[in-house]
Amino acid sequence: MKRLQVDIRQRRPIPLEVGLHCGRGELLALVGPSGSGKTSVLRCIAGLHHPTGRIVCGGEVWLDDALGIALPPQRRRVGFVFQDYALFPHLTVLQNLMLACRLPGERAREKARRWLQRVHLAGLEDRRPDTLSGGQRQRVALARAMMRDPDVILLDEPFSAVDQVTRRRLRLEMAELKRTLRIPMILVTHDLEEAEMLADRMALIHRGRILQQGSPAEVMLRPVDAEAARLVDVRNLFRGRVIAVDRERGRCRLRWEAGELEAPWRESIPVGATVDWCIPPAGLLLHSRRRPSRGVRENPVRGRIVEIVRFGGRAQLVLAPVAAPEKRLHLDLSQHVVERNRLAVGEPVGVSLLSRFIHLMPPRRR
């Protein structure tokens, strides 16, 4: 079974202390801010950096400093799609692909044509990279990576150099290709939407360390602490104190600046503990002005609209709670809900913070 296991450390050029794994046919998104070490992890896997630790792919040891094993890049079957694609400008598309193949001439040519057809570039064999669009160069780079019959695919922000429309199309093509591949794939990105769309699992990296691994939904909706929450752009992030616990129901009472809430309780959090907590915008229920529902009784908060941002038939509302006007609550609505309720900046509204969406986190230990 093709599986990639990485446990590495290095001090230079960027400090790393990383442990991660990626299974057969799985795409792992490595997400984090610029300078966090994402690309360095890929380069260590490919053999372009020389960390200490251990890297095993498909049962083959690529790195084990304790055993004195460190295979050079050419002996690691890695398909690497670089951020700038790294195509040879003086070679045609076909020649770029053939150069990466270990087969003799005609067989390499046939294989290259098959991959060009698979990435929707048939007919462009004789073009040079500088005559191609950004999306076409990205496809050439991906096809070239696959020409090596790799044991793992490494993708370093492969969609960053193209426009938004092309990026959306390439993501769909990548999702389609991923379903047919049976090898580990690691995608470096700082785009959370991209990670959520393509990844089976996500690893959140910051300052060279993995903070959290799990499904995209788990990492983005249930971050391990406030630092992880900020890195995945959690907008509703607050601090509170647990003032009561109902063990039988698995619930607790949480006091924060705007009042008290009922929330799911975690056994590791005692009464009196200070916690960070978050709730996604989807966890906020707008109280209808025309037909109030039973939901208004669940963790109600009164507030005033301070901002409305409209985009693509949706609207982001920012509320200032009446009891804590310096705080901000964010919720997402469809445009017709905004219009039907005649919502506008300055208007008072009520929302419910649905308890099942509230996630408690112990404050980060220093």
| Dihedral angle, C-alpha 366, 54, 76, 170, nearest 10 ° | -30
Report if residue 153 sits inside a domain. yes
Q: pLDDT tens digits for 45-63?
A: 999 999 999 999 999 999 9
Considering the domain architecture, whether residues 128 and 24 belong to the same structural domain is answered as yes
Considering the domain architecture, whether residues 109 and 205 belong to the same structural domain is answered as yes
Quote the CA–CA distance of 147 and 110 in Å, as a whole number.
11
- Rounded alpha-carbon distances, angstroms, from residue 187 to 3, 39, 159, 192, 217: 15, 10, 10, 12, 17
Q: pLDDT tens digits for 201-211?
A: 999 999 999 99
- Rounded alpha-carbon distances, angstroms, from residue 247 to 133, 265, 266, 269: 60, 8, 9, 12
Quote the CA–CA distance of 239 and 116 in Å, as a whole number.
53
Please enumerate in sequence order all residues whose Cβ is within 8 A of that of 35, keeping only pairs 6 or more positions apart, or say none: 14
Distance of CA 153 to the CA centre of its chain: 17
Quote the CA–CA distance of 239 and 229 in Å, as a whole number.
12
15 φ/ψ angles, rounded to the nearest 5 degrees = -60, 135
Q: pLDDT tens digits for 122-148?
A: 999 999 999 999 899 999 999 999 998
Largest Cα–Cα separation, the chain:
74
Domain count, the chain: 2
Considering the domain architecture, whether residues 328 and 213 belong to the same structural domain is answered as no
- Grade residue 295 by pLDDT with cuts at 50, 70 and 90: low
9 φ/ψ angles, rounded to the nearest 5 degrees = -145, 145
The long-range contacts involving 176-183, CB below 8 angstroms and separated by at least 24 positions, are: 177/118, 177/119, 177/142, 178/25, 178/27, 181/25, 181/153, 182/2, 182/24, 182/25, 183/2, 183/24, 183/25, 183/150, 183/151, 183/152, 183/153
Bond from prior residue into 129 cis (ω within 30 degrees of 0): no
Burial (CB count within 10 angstroms: exposed 0-12, middle 13-18, buried 19+), residue 135: buried
pLDDT surpassing 60 at residue 366: no
Q: pLDDT tens digits for 175-197?
A: 888 888 899 999 999 899 999 99
Q: pLDDT tens digits for 148-157?
A: 899 999 999 9
Which residues, in sequence order, are bridge partners of residue 318?
307, 330
Can you give the residue range of the structural domain that contains 324?
298-354
CATH number at residue 77: 3.40.50.300
Mean pLDDT rounded to a whole number for the chain: 92
Report if residue 249 sits inside a domain. no
Report if residue 209 sits inside a domain. yes
Distance of CA 360 to the CA centre of its chain: 21
pLDDT surpassing 70 at residue 223: yes
Report if residue 52 sits inside a domain. yes
Report if residue 362 sits inside a domain. no
Considering the domain architecture, whether residues 97 and 191 belong to the same structural domain is answered as yes
Verdict on whether the full-model pTM lies above 0.95: no
Q: Which residue from 177, 175, 167 is spatially nearest to 143, judged by alpha carbons?
A: 177
Q: pLDDT tens digits for 8-43?
A: 999 988 899 999 999 999 999 999 999 999 999 999
Q: Which two tokens stand for residue 317?
A: 């509302």
What local confidence, expressed as pLDDT, does residue 162 receive?
82
Considering the domain architecture, whether residues 206 and 339 belong to the same structural domain is answered as no
Burial (CB count within 10 angstroms: exposed 0-12, middle 13-18, buried 19+), residue 217: exposed
Report if residue 185 sits inside a domain. yes
Q: Identify the weakest region by mean pLDDT among 160-169, 170-179, 339-348.
A: 160-169
Q: Considering the chain, what percentage of its residues have pLDDT values greater than 70?
A: 97
CATH number at residue 335: 2.40.50.100
- Over range 282-305, report the average pLDDT: 82
What local confidence, expressed as pLDDT, does residue 101 receive?
87
Considering the domain architecture, whether residues 85 and 219 belong to the same structural domain is answered as yes
- Over range 322-340, report the average pLDDT: 94
Q: pLDDT tens digits for 239-257?
A: 999 999 999 999 999 999 9
